[in-house]
Protein backbone atom coordinates (compact mmCIF):
# COMPACT_ATOMS: atom_id res chain seq x y z
CA UNK A 1 0.00 0.00 0.00
CA UNK A 2 1.20 3.49 -0.90
CA UNK A 3 0.30 6.53 1.18
CA UNK A 4 0.54 10.05 -0.24
CA UNK A 5 1.37 12.82 2.22
CA UNK A 6 0.87 16.48 1.30
CA UNK A 7 2.29 19.58 2.95
CA UNK A 8 0.01 20.54 5.82
CA UNK A 9 -0.12 21.52 9.46
CA UNK A 10 -1.59 19.37 12.20
CA UNK A 11 -4.20 20.27 14.75
CA UNK A 12 -6.49 18.25 16.95
CA UNK A 13 -6.81 15.64 19.66
CA UNK A 14 -6.12 11.92 19.44
CA UNK A 15 -5.89 9.12 21.99
CA UNK A 16 -2.63 7.25 22.33
CA UNK A 17 -2.87 3.59 21.31
CA UNK A 18 -2.40 1.00 24.08
CA UNK A 19 1.22 0.09 24.71
CA UNK A 20 2.42 -2.86 22.66
CA UNK A 21 5.26 -3.65 25.06
CA UNK A 22 3.07 -3.61 28.15
CA UNK A 23 0.37 -5.69 26.45
CA UNK A 24 2.82 -8.44 25.50
CA UNK A 25 4.29 -8.49 29.00
CA UNK A 26 0.86 -8.67 30.63
CA UNK A 27 -0.26 -11.41 28.23
CA UNK A 28 2.87 -13.47 28.96
CA UNK A 29 2.49 -13.11 32.73
CA UNK A 30 -1.21 -14.01 32.55
CA UNK A 31 -0.34 -17.18 30.64
CA UNK A 32 1.83 -18.30 33.57
CA UNK A 33 -0.99 -17.84 36.09
CA UNK A 34 -3.46 -20.70 36.48
CA UNK A 35 -6.17 -18.34 37.77
CA UNK A 36 -7.94 -15.74 35.63
CA UNK A 37 -6.34 -12.34 35.02
CA UNK A 38 -7.90 -9.38 33.24
CA UNK A 39 -6.12 -7.06 30.82
CA UNK A 40 -8.04 -3.86 30.11
CA UNK A 41 -7.50 -1.75 26.98
CA UNK A 42 -5.10 -4.19 25.35
CA UNK A 43 -3.22 -3.42 22.14
CA UNK A 44 -4.60 -4.99 18.97
CA UNK A 45 -1.43 -4.44 16.98
CA UNK A 46 0.08 -7.34 15.04
CA UNK A 47 2.78 -8.10 17.60
CA UNK A 48 0.32 -8.18 20.49
CA UNK A 49 -2.06 -10.44 18.56
CA UNK A 50 0.88 -12.76 17.87
CA UNK A 51 1.51 -13.00 21.62
CA UNK A 52 -2.16 -13.75 22.33
CA UNK A 53 -2.26 -16.49 19.69
CA UNK A 54 0.94 -18.00 21.10
CA UNK A 55 -0.40 -18.32 24.66
CA UNK A 56 -3.58 -19.92 23.32
CA UNK A 57 -1.46 -22.53 21.54
CA UNK A 58 0.52 -23.14 24.73
CA UNK A 59 -2.70 -23.90 26.62
CA UNK A 60 -4.13 -20.65 27.98
CA UNK A 61 -7.83 -19.89 27.80
CA UNK A 62 -8.48 -16.42 26.37
CA UNK A 63 -11.87 -14.71 26.32
CA UNK A 64 -12.62 -11.29 24.84
CA UNK A 65 -15.01 -8.55 25.95
CA UNK A 66 -14.78 -5.26 24.05
CA UNK A 67 -11.23 -4.01 24.65
CA UNK A 68 -10.53 -6.43 27.49
CA UNK A 69 -8.89 -9.84 27.74
CA UNK A 70 -9.70 -12.54 30.30
CA UNK A 71 -6.83 -15.03 30.48
CA UNK A 72 -6.41 -18.25 32.45
CA UNK A 73 -3.00 -19.83 31.98
CA UNK A 74 -2.32 -23.41 31.00
CA UNK A 75 0.43 -25.77 29.87
CA UNK A 76 0.99 -27.50 26.54
CA UNK A 77 -0.31 -31.04 26.21
CA UNK A 78 1.66 -31.92 23.09
CA UNK A 79 4.48 -30.77 20.83
CA UNK A 80 3.80 -27.37 19.24
CA UNK A 81 4.72 -24.98 16.47
CA UNK A 82 4.38 -21.34 17.58
CA UNK A 83 4.26 -18.56 14.99
CA UNK A 84 5.88 -15.37 16.30
CA UNK A 85 5.09 -13.63 12.99
CA UNK A 86 7.33 -10.53 12.87
CA UNK A 87 7.68 -9.95 16.61
CA UNK A 88 11.28 -10.27 17.78
CA UNK A 89 10.13 -9.78 21.36
CA UNK A 90 7.70 -12.70 21.09
CA UNK A 91 10.41 -14.88 19.54
CA UNK A 92 12.91 -14.17 22.31
CA UNK A 93 10.44 -14.05 25.18
CA UNK A 94 8.49 -17.22 24.39
CA UNK A 95 11.54 -19.23 23.34
CA UNK A 96 12.65 -18.93 26.95
CA UNK A 97 9.21 -19.23 28.58
CA UNK A 98 8.50 -22.45 26.65
CA UNK A 99 11.73 -23.94 28.02
CA UNK A 100 9.67 -24.59 31.17
CA UNK A 101 7.95 -27.48 29.40
CA UNK A 102 9.11 -30.97 28.44
CA UNK A 103 7.47 -30.76 25.01
CA UNK A 104 9.18 -30.23 21.67
CA UNK A 105 8.32 -26.66 20.71
CA UNK A 106 9.29 -24.95 17.47
CA UNK A 107 9.13 -21.15 17.22
CA UNK A 108 8.93 -19.83 13.67
CA UNK A 109 9.07 -16.32 12.22
CA UNK A 110 7.79 -14.46 9.19
CA UNK A 111 9.21 -11.95 6.72
CA UNK A 112 12.12 -9.85 8.00
CA UNK A 113 12.27 -11.61 11.37
CA UNK A 114 13.49 -14.76 9.63
CA UNK A 115 16.65 -12.82 8.77
CA UNK A 116 17.29 -11.48 12.26
CA UNK A 117 19.66 -13.27 14.60
CA UNK A 118 18.34 -14.93 17.73
CA UNK A 119 21.28 -13.52 19.68
CA UNK A 120 22.72 -16.08 22.15
CA UNK A 121 19.50 -17.87 23.11
CA UNK A 122 20.84 -21.26 22.04
CA UNK A 123 24.00 -21.05 24.15
CA UNK A 124 22.17 -19.70 27.19
CA UNK A 125 19.52 -22.41 27.24
CA UNK A 126 21.89 -25.28 26.41
CA UNK A 127 24.13 -24.21 29.28
CA UNK A 128 21.15 -24.69 31.58
CA UNK A 129 20.25 -28.17 30.33
CA UNK A 130 17.56 -27.19 27.83
CA UNK A 131 17.62 -28.80 24.39
CA UNK A 132 17.80 -25.89 21.97
CA UNK A 133 18.66 -25.59 18.29
CA UNK A 134 18.53 -22.69 15.85
CA UNK A 135 19.22 -22.34 12.16
CA UNK A 136 22.79 -21.08 12.61
CA UNK A 137 21.53 -18.41 15.05
CA UNK A 138 18.47 -17.60 12.93
CA UNK A 139 14.87 -18.78 13.31
CA UNK A 140 13.32 -21.26 13.64
CA UNK A 141 14.16 -22.10 17.25
CA UNK A 142 13.58 -25.60 18.62
CA UNK A 143 13.11 -25.89 22.39
CA UNK A 144 12.62 -28.76 24.80
CA UNK A 145 12.86 -28.23 28.56
CA UNK A 146 12.45 -28.15 31.41
CA UNK A 147 14.79 -25.36 32.39
CA UNK A 148 16.45 -26.06 35.74
CA UNK A 149 17.56 -22.65 36.96
CA UNK A 150 20.99 -21.80 38.28
CA UNK A 151 23.61 -19.23 37.31
CA UNK A 152 23.36 -17.20 34.11
CA UNK A 153 25.81 -14.68 32.68
CA UNK A 154 24.22 -12.38 30.11
CA UNK A 155 25.62 -9.69 27.81
CA UNK A 156 22.76 -7.28 27.06
CA UNK A 157 24.61 -4.89 24.76
CA UNK A 158 22.33 -5.76 21.82
CA UNK A 159 19.00 -6.39 23.51
CA UNK A 160 17.35 -6.63 26.93
CA UNK A 161 14.65 -8.99 25.64
CA UNK A 162 16.45 -12.22 26.56
CA UNK A 163 16.90 -10.89 30.08
CA UNK A 164 13.16 -10.21 30.25
CA UNK A 165 12.52 -13.78 29.08
CA UNK A 166 14.71 -15.25 31.80
CA UNK A 167 13.11 -13.05 34.44
CA UNK A 168 9.65 -14.27 33.39
CA UNK A 169 10.71 -17.91 33.41
CA UNK A 170 13.09 -18.54 36.30
CA UNK A 171 10.61 -17.99 39.17
CA UNK A 172 8.98 -21.23 37.93
CA UNK A 173 12.24 -23.16 37.47
CA UNK A 174 13.38 -26.10 39.59
CA UNK A 175 16.06 -24.24 41.56
CA UNK A 176 17.05 -20.73 42.59
CA UNK A 177 18.77 -18.61 39.96
CA UNK A 178 21.09 -15.65 39.56
CA UNK A 179 21.62 -13.58 36.42
CA UNK A 180 24.82 -11.57 36.08
CA UNK A 181 24.27 -8.79 33.54
CA UNK A 182 26.78 -6.70 31.60
CA UNK A 183 26.31 -3.83 29.14
CA UNK A 184 22.59 -3.48 29.76
CA UNK A 185 20.83 -1.20 27.30
CA UNK A 186 17.18 -0.14 27.40
CA UNK A 187 16.87 -0.26 31.19
CA UNK A 188 13.34 1.19 31.07
CA UNK A 189 12.15 -2.00 29.38
CA UNK A 190 13.47 -4.02 32.32
CA UNK A 191 11.66 -1.62 34.66
CA UNK A 192 8.46 -2.38 32.76
CA UNK A 193 9.11 -6.11 33.15
CA UNK A 194 9.77 -5.79 36.88
CA UNK A 195 6.62 -3.72 37.35
CA UNK A 196 4.56 -6.48 35.73
CA UNK A 197 6.08 -8.97 38.18
CA UNK A 198 5.09 -6.78 41.11
CA UNK A 199 1.48 -6.81 39.88
CA UNK A 200 1.51 -10.62 39.50
CA UNK A 201 3.11 -11.26 42.90
CA UNK A 202 6.54 -12.35 41.65
CA UNK A 203 9.61 -11.33 43.66
CA UNK A 204 12.80 -10.49 41.77
CA UNK A 205 15.78 -9.03 43.62
CA UNK A 206 17.50 -6.39 41.47
CA UNK A 207 21.00 -5.26 42.39
CA UNK A 208 21.59 -2.16 40.26
CA UNK A 209 20.67 -4.05 37.05
CA UNK A 210 23.98 -5.95 37.32
CA UNK A 211 22.73 -8.91 39.33
CA UNK A 212 19.27 -10.41 39.62
CA UNK A 213 18.40 -13.06 42.19
CA UNK A 214 15.31 -15.20 41.63
CA UNK A 215 13.79 -17.65 44.08
CA UNK A 216 12.30 -20.78 42.55
CA UNK A 217 8.91 -22.20 43.50
CA UNK A 218 7.02 -18.94 43.04
CA UNK A 219 3.52 -18.72 41.62
CA UNK A 220 2.04 -16.03 39.41
CA UNK A 221 -1.03 -14.58 41.11
CA UNK A 222 -4.02 -13.26 39.12
CA UNK A 223 -3.96 -9.55 38.33
CA UNK A 224 -6.16 -6.89 36.77
CA UNK A 225 -4.07 -4.63 34.57
CA UNK A 226 -5.01 -1.56 32.56
CA UNK A 227 -2.66 -0.96 29.64
CA UNK A 228 -1.55 2.66 29.39
CA UNK A 229 -0.91 4.60 26.21
CA UNK A 230 2.15 3.91 24.07
CA UNK A 231 4.79 6.66 24.28
CA UNK A 232 6.84 5.19 21.41
CA UNK A 233 3.99 5.47 18.93
CA UNK A 234 2.76 8.79 20.32
CA UNK A 235 6.19 10.37 19.88
CA UNK A 236 5.50 10.68 16.14
CA UNK A 237 2.50 12.94 16.63
CA UNK A 238 4.20 14.88 19.43
CA UNK A 239 7.01 15.71 17.00
CA UNK A 240 4.46 16.59 14.33
CA UNK A 241 2.98 19.16 16.71
CA UNK A 242 6.43 20.51 17.53
CA UNK A 243 7.30 21.00 13.86
CA UNK A 244 4.16 22.37 12.28
CA UNK A 245 1.02 22.43 14.34
CA UNK A 246 -0.74 21.91 17.60
CA UNK A 247 -1.57 18.48 18.96
CA UNK A 248 -3.03 17.01 22.13
CA UNK A 249 -2.66 13.29 22.86
CA UNK A 250 -4.73 11.62 25.54
CA UNK A 251 -4.13 8.41 27.53
CA UNK A 252 -0.49 9.27 28.21
CA UNK A 253 0.79 8.56 31.72
CA UNK A 254 3.45 11.06 32.70
CA UNK A 255 4.56 8.69 35.47
CA UNK A 256 4.94 5.78 33.08
CA UNK A 257 7.98 3.51 33.21
CA UNK A 258 8.17 3.59 29.42
CA UNK A 259 11.52 5.09 28.56
CA UNK A 260 10.23 6.90 25.47
CA UNK A 261 8.32 9.39 27.60
CA UNK A 262 11.68 11.24 27.60
CA UNK A 263 10.43 12.73 24.32
CA UNK A 264 8.61 15.48 26.21
CA UNK A 265 11.75 16.43 28.12
CA UNK A 266 13.67 16.64 24.88
CA UNK A 267 10.99 18.73 23.17
CA UNK A 268 10.85 21.11 26.13
CA UNK A 269 14.64 21.46 26.11
CA UNK A 270 14.72 22.63 22.47
CA UNK A 271 12.04 25.29 22.84
CA UNK A 272 8.76 23.45 22.27
CA UNK A 273 5.85 24.41 24.49
CA UNK A 274 4.73 21.22 26.23
CA UNK A 275 1.65 21.31 28.44
CA UNK A 276 0.86 18.47 30.81
CA UNK A 277 -2.90 18.25 31.17
CA UNK A 278 -5.10 15.66 32.90
CA UNK A 279 -3.97 12.37 31.36
CA UNK A 280 -2.86 14.10 28.15
CA UNK A 281 0.02 16.04 26.64
CA UNK A 282 -0.36 19.11 24.43
CA UNK A 283 2.44 20.32 22.17
CA UNK A 284 2.72 23.67 20.38
CA UNK A 285 5.49 24.58 17.91
CA UNK A 286 8.24 27.14 18.37
CA UNK A 287 11.67 27.90 16.95
CA UNK A 288 13.51 24.65 17.45
CA UNK A 289 17.04 24.54 18.85
CA UNK A 290 19.49 21.71 18.01
CA UNK A 291 19.84 18.77 20.37
CA UNK A 292 22.14 15.95 21.43
CA UNK A 293 20.39 12.72 22.32
CA UNK A 294 21.79 9.40 23.58
CA UNK A 295 19.50 6.69 22.19
CA UNK A 296 20.92 3.86 24.31
CA UNK A 297 17.80 3.48 26.42
CA UNK A 298 15.31 4.62 23.75
CA UNK A 299 16.24 3.16 20.35
CA UNK A 300 12.66 3.34 19.07
CA UNK A 301 12.80 7.15 19.12
CA UNK A 302 15.65 7.34 16.61
CA UNK A 303 13.58 7.52 13.35
CA UNK A 304 11.26 10.29 14.52
CA UNK A 305 14.07 12.23 16.22
CA UNK A 306 16.02 12.09 12.98
CA UNK A 307 13.05 13.78 11.31
CA UNK A 308 12.93 16.34 14.14
CA UNK A 309 16.61 17.14 13.62
CA UNK A 310 15.89 18.22 10.04
CA UNK A 311 13.87 21.15 11.43
CA UNK A 312 16.14 22.24 14.29
CA UNK A 313 18.56 25.13 13.84
CA UNK A 314 22.18 24.12 13.34
CA UNK A 315 23.30 20.51 13.80
CA UNK A 316 21.70 17.85 15.98
CA UNK A 317 23.27 14.57 17.07
CA UNK A 318 21.80 11.20 17.99
CA UNK A 319 24.36 8.84 19.52
CA UNK A 320 24.41 5.12 20.40
CA UNK A 321 22.54 4.06 17.27
CA UNK A 322 24.56 0.97 16.32
CA UNK A 323 22.04 -1.47 17.87
CA UNK A 324 19.39 -0.36 15.38
CA UNK A 325 21.03 -2.52 12.71
CA UNK A 326 19.21 -5.48 14.28
CA UNK A 327 15.69 -4.10 13.99
CA UNK A 328 13.08 -4.60 11.25
CA UNK A 329 15.40 -2.63 9.00
CA UNK A 330 18.86 -1.23 9.65
CA UNK A 331 17.01 1.66 11.18
CA UNK A 332 19.63 4.39 11.54
CA UNK A 333 20.94 3.80 8.02
CA UNK A 334 17.46 3.41 6.55
CA UNK A 335 15.96 6.60 7.97
CA UNK A 336 19.08 8.56 6.98
CA UNK A 337 19.02 7.24 3.40
CA UNK A 338 15.29 7.79 2.90
CA UNK A 339 15.36 11.34 4.27
CA UNK A 340 18.52 12.17 2.31
CA UNK A 341 16.73 11.05 -0.85
CA UNK A 342 14.26 13.92 -0.35
CA UNK A 343 16.79 16.61 0.47
CA UNK A 344 17.91 16.01 4.06
CA UNK A 345 21.55 16.40 5.15
CA UNK A 346 22.20 13.46 7.45
CA UNK A 347 25.44 11.58 8.03
CA UNK A 348 25.81 8.25 9.80
CA UNK A 349 29.20 8.34 11.48
CA UNK A 350 30.08 5.14 13.32
CA UNK A 351 27.64 5.15 16.25
CA UNK A 352 26.12 8.60 15.67
CA UNK A 353 23.70 10.40 13.36
CA UNK A 354 24.64 13.97 12.45
CA UNK A 355 21.63 15.97 11.20
CA UNK A 356 21.63 19.45 9.64
CA UNK A 357 18.58 21.65 9.32
CA UNK A 358 17.29 21.57 5.76
CA UNK A 359 14.20 21.83 3.59
CA UNK A 360 12.66 18.53 2.62
CA UNK A 361 11.43 17.91 -0.92
CA UNK A 362 8.73 15.58 -2.10
CA UNK A 363 9.16 12.31 -3.92
CA UNK A 364 8.89 8.61 -3.24
CA UNK A 365 10.31 6.84 -0.18
CA UNK A 366 10.20 3.29 1.13
CA UNK A 367 9.38 2.17 4.67
CA UNK A 368 11.27 -1.09 4.04
CA UNK A 369 8.49 -2.79 5.97
CA UNK A 370 9.54 -1.03 9.18
CA UNK A 371 6.64 0.45 11.12
CA UNK A 372 8.71 3.11 12.87
CA UNK A 373 10.31 4.23 9.61
CA UNK A 374 6.87 4.53 7.98
CA UNK A 375 5.47 6.67 10.82
CA UNK A 376 8.52 8.94 10.90
CA UNK A 377 8.40 9.46 7.12
CA UNK A 378 4.72 10.38 7.39
CA UNK A 379 5.57 13.19 9.79
CA UNK A 380 8.42 14.34 7.53
CA UNK A 381 6.05 14.47 4.57
CA UNK A 382 3.84 17.02 6.27
CA UNK A 383 6.62 19.60 5.87
CA UNK A 384 7.93 18.54 2.46
CA UNK A 385 7.60 21.05 -0.36
CA UNK A 386 5.91 18.53 -2.67
CA UNK A 387 3.76 15.43 -2.06
CA UNK A 388 5.57 12.48 -0.53
CA UNK A 389 4.59 8.90 -1.39
CA UNK A 390 5.44 6.23 1.20
CA UNK A 391 5.76 2.69 -0.11
CA UNK A 392 4.68 -0.23 2.11
CA UNK A 393 2.81 2.11 4.42
CA UNK A 394 0.61 -0.69 5.78
CA UNK A 395 3.45 -1.96 8.02
CA UNK A 396 2.38 0.48 10.76
CA UNK A 397 -0.07 -2.20 11.92
CA UNK A 398 2.84 -3.96 13.61
CA UNK A 399 2.56 -1.51 16.51
CA UNK A 400 -0.14 1.07 15.68
CA UNK A 401 -3.05 -0.29 13.58
CA UNK A 402 -4.97 3.00 13.70
CA UNK A 403 -2.00 5.22 12.82
CA UNK A 404 -3.30 6.30 9.42
CA UNK A 405 -6.80 6.88 10.78
CA UNK A 406 -5.42 9.13 13.52
CA UNK A 407 -3.11 10.79 11.00
CA UNK A 408 -5.99 11.63 8.69
CA UNK A 409 -8.02 12.98 11.61
CA UNK A 410 -5.48 15.68 12.39
CA UNK A 411 -4.36 16.66 8.88
CA UNK A 412 -6.05 17.47 5.61
CA UNK A 413 -5.19 16.56 2.04
CA UNK A 414 -3.73 13.10 2.74
CA UNK A 415 -4.82 10.24 0.53
CA UNK A 416 -4.15 6.67 -0.56
Verify whether residue 66 is a known catalytic residue. no
What does 189-208 look like in DSSP terms, one character per residue?
HHHHHHHHHHHTT--EEEET
Cα 325 from Cα 112, distance rounded (Å): 12
User: Over the range 371-405, which residues count as b (16 or more CB within 10 Å of their CB) and which as e?
Assistant: bbbbbbbbbbbbbbeebbbbbbbbbbbbbbbbbbe
Rounded to two decimals, what is the model's pTM?
A: 0.95
Percentage of the chain beyond pLDDT 70 is 97
Cα 396 from Cα 378, distance rounded (Å): 11
In sequence order, what are the residues at sequence separation of 6 or more whose Cβ sits closer than 8 angstroms to the Cβ of residue 77? 59
Q: What is the CATH number of domain 3-17+229-410?
A: 3.65.10.10
Residue 78 pLDDT exceeds 50: yes
Cα 46 from Cα 54, distance rounded (Å): 12
Residue 242 pLDDT exceeds 90: yes
Q: What's the pLDDT band for 415 if we cut at 50, 70, 90?
A: very low
Question: Mean of the pLDDT values across residues 224-251?
Answer: 96
Cα 385 from Cα 106, distance rounded (Å): 49
Sorted by where each begins, the domain ranges of the chain are 3-17+229-410, 20-214
CATH architecture, range 20-214: Alpha-beta prism (3.65)
Cα 279 from Cα 164, distance rounded (Å): 28
Answer for the pair 232, 239: CB distance below 8 angstroms, yes or no: no
Answer for the pair 210, 180: CB distance below 8 angstroms, yes or no: yes
306-355: pLDDT as tens digits: 999 999 999 999 999 986 665 545 889 999 999 999 999 999 998 899 99
How confident is the prediction for the chain on average, in pLDDT? 94
> What pLDDT score was predicted for residue 159?
86
5-32: pLDDT as tens digits: 999 999 999 999 999 999 999 999 999 9
Q: What's the pLDDT band for 416 if we cut at 50, 70, 90?
A: very low
Q: What's the pLDDT band for 185 if we cut at 50, 70, 90?
A: confident
Which of 125, 116, 114 is closest to 83 using CA atoms?
Answer: 114
Catalytic residue among 230, 260, 300, 320: 300
Amino acid sequence: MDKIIKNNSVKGHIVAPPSKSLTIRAVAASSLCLSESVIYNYSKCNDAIAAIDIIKEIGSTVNYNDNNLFIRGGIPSSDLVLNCRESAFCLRLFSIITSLYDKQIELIAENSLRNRKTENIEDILKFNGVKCKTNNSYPPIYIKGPIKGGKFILDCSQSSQILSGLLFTLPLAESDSTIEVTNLKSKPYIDMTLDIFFKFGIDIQNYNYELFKIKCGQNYKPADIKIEGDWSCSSNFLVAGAINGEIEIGNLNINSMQGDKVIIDLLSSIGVEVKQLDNSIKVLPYNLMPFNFDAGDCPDLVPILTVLGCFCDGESFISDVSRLAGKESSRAETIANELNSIGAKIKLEENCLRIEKTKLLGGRVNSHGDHRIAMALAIAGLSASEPLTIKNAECVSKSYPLFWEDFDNIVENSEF
